[in-house]
Structure 1
Amino acid sequence: MITGTAGTARRIAIAAVAAAMTMGLVTACEGDDKGRPAKGAAESVSPGGSAKPSTEPAAPPADEKPSSGRTLSKAELAKAALATGDVPGLVVTPMQGGEDPGTEKADKPGCEPLAALINGAPEPAAAATVYRTIVDKSEEGKETQTVVTEILTSHANGSAGAVLESLRTAVAACAAGFTTHGGGDGASTYSEVKQLPAPRAGEDAIACQVTGAVDGAKVPLVLHVVRKGASVATFYTANFIDARTPEVPAALFAEQAAKLP
């Protein structure tokens, strides 16, 4: 995450909370973006369980329709993006006030795919991008309210697969952490990177946790990335309360993959 009180990861978190506040769903300050599991909304990925992280692509559900393989336009991505009602209990809105991607660069070239994803701009560069904020409305007013940012991208010339492959390589190469610079808020220090069990959705998927600090406290940031055809869905959440790994409702992954043509 970040050292100090500023940085790209926190900017994205603040944007997610701002969007939720616009809908009247959150009443606290940006410290309430905790990325906690949506209780009762859906089964969640539990990194603390017995499942071992796998470097192999997760097998999608048997009933998931195959991809058309097309590179979607921004309008098509917006139509295919998750919406309120797709997953019970979760409210989805376009991200407000934070769609400009970050500009921080990793000090280690091998860690750049992780920095790019945290910036909100997966590499290789997308042909189109839409952002969504997802909140659990049943947790309104709670400091543990689930807030998830989705970054949905489309890629040309087969580069969607390269997004996940580069991330796999970066997770392995950057286990001891890395630092980013150039975001205008000073250096952001990430002390650890570890792989998590991949979502069972899409044609390929990976999940990881990047850990850093805010005001000296450990802050885990979790990224789940699912590819279907030429589209990539990234689900991002963070825990600003304690060092426990935050969870993302697993139904989000399958539902988003199902909506992509």
Structure 2
Amino acid sequence: MKLARLALPAVVLPFALILTACSSDSGTAEKENKNSNAAASDSKSPAADEKSGEKNGFTVKELDKIALTGKVEGFTAKAIPQAEVAAGQGMKADKKECQPLTAAMGGQTLPASSVAVYRSLKPVEKTDATIGSMWLTALDEPDAKLVLKNLRKAVDDCPKGFETVGLKYTSVKSLKTAELGDESYAFQITGKIADQNMTTSYTVVREGAVVATFYGINMLTPKKSSIPEPVVTAQVKKISG
């Protein structure tokens, strides 16, 4: 079973990923994706530049070396084109208290860091409908801790959702997750995108000063939208060395 390409706006990193991670049906959706990526390419992502900085001893190049690549626990991890990363920058929530969630949706952290690398995650088995992405972000350790603190507070403060870039999300809630890294947290956002109800899940793990964020969606079985724990664990082990 192959998932058809979705004609979704490529303004949010995870949703932009869906456009390229799913199998393609030629036509309007493909044209829309190309146009969106072309527009996004005009804005260079900080992660595209290896000289963009260093955080706690990590550069973009060094982060890239420890990011998942290739086949891992039933998924294939591939680098995400920088145009798609740039597409998620600068997103704002209509409610200030929900901004950490909007940052995550755009492939960013709050506090932000330019030292980050991104991967798409696509299941090896075509019958597996869970797809997603992940990114590693290096920060100063106090800021890394603050990323998870901010997300926890935002989930508590925004249970009825929020709006961003013209899209409305109606529900936000925390999810159970295994104890991974130095600390971990998971949450779920539900909304209506392009006339389709969508549930997306996020798992965020801090290992020292590095924050690993995993985004997943399963349009056939929303309860299975989270990226599987073995994939997350494999990445955490690479970070810890």
- In the superposition, the TM-score normalised over structure 2's length comes to 0.76
Distance in 2 between the 1:102 and 1:240 partners? Answer: 25
2:10 and 2:95 map into 1 onto residues whose CA distance is 18
Matched residues, number: 206
Q: Which residue of 2 aligns with 1:14?
A: 16
Higher helix residue share: 2
- Stretch deviating more after TM superposition (169-178 or 207-216): 207-216
Q: Which residue of 2 aligns with 1:145?
A: 129
Q: Deviation at 1:175?
A: 0.5
CA distance in 1, matches of 2:182, 2:157: 24
Select the residue among 149, 168, 182 that pairs with 1:165. 149
8 Å Cα contact 1:71-1:155 kept in structure 2: no
Q: Residues 13, 239 of structure 1: CA spacing in aligned structure 2 closer, same or farther, 3 A cutoff?
A: same
- Which of 175, 185, 203 aligns to 2:182? It is 203
Counterpart code for 1:93 = K
Q: Residues 169 and 189 of structure 2 are in contact (CA less than 8 Å); yes or no, is this contact kept in structure 1?
A: yes
Give the secondary-structure state (helix, strand or coil) at the position aligned to 1:102. Answer: coil
Partner of 2:36: none
Unaligned 5+ residue runs, structure 1? 32-68, 182-186
Q: Does 1:84 align with 2:70?
A: yes
**What percent identity do the matched residue pairs reach?**
29
CA-CA distance at 1:244 after TM superposition: 4.2
Q: 5 Å matches for 1:20-169?
A: 20=21, 26-28=23-25, 70-85=56-71, 87-96=72-81, 97-100=83-86, 101-139=88-126, 142=127, 144-156=128-140, 158-169=142-153
The two structures, once aligned, show a CA RMSD in angstroms of 2.5
CA distance in structure 2 between the aligned counterparts of 1:120 and 1:202, rounded to whole angstroms: 20
**What is the TM-score with the length of structure 1 in the denominator?**
0.71
Residue of structure 1 equivalent to 2:52: none
Cα deviation, residue 156, structure 1: 1.9
Contact 2:130–2:224 under 8 Å retained in 1: no
1:160-215 deviations in whole A, cap 9, x for unaligned?
0000000000000000111124xxxxx11110100001233111111000110024
Query: Is 1:177–1:190's contact at 8 Å kept on the other side of the alignment?
Result: yes
For residue 138 of structure 1, report the CA deviation from its aligned partner.
2.0
- Check whether the contact 1:176–1:192 (CA below 8 A) recurs between aligned residues: yes
Instruction: Provide the secondary structure at the position in 2 that maps to 1:138.
Output: coil
Deviates more, 1:216-225 or 1:115-124: 216-225
Structure number with higher relative contact order (C-alpha < 8 Å, ≥ 6 residues apart): 1
Structure 2 spans left out of the alignment, 5+ residues: 1-6, 31-54
CA offset digits 1:68-94 (Å, max 9, x no partner): x94411111100101224x23321110
Residue type of the partner of 2:239? L
State the AA in 2 paired with 1:145: A
CA distance in 1, matches of 2:25, 2:216: 17
Residue 177 of structure 1 pairs with residue 180 of structure 2: no
SS in 2 for 1:168: helix
Partner of 1:248: 227
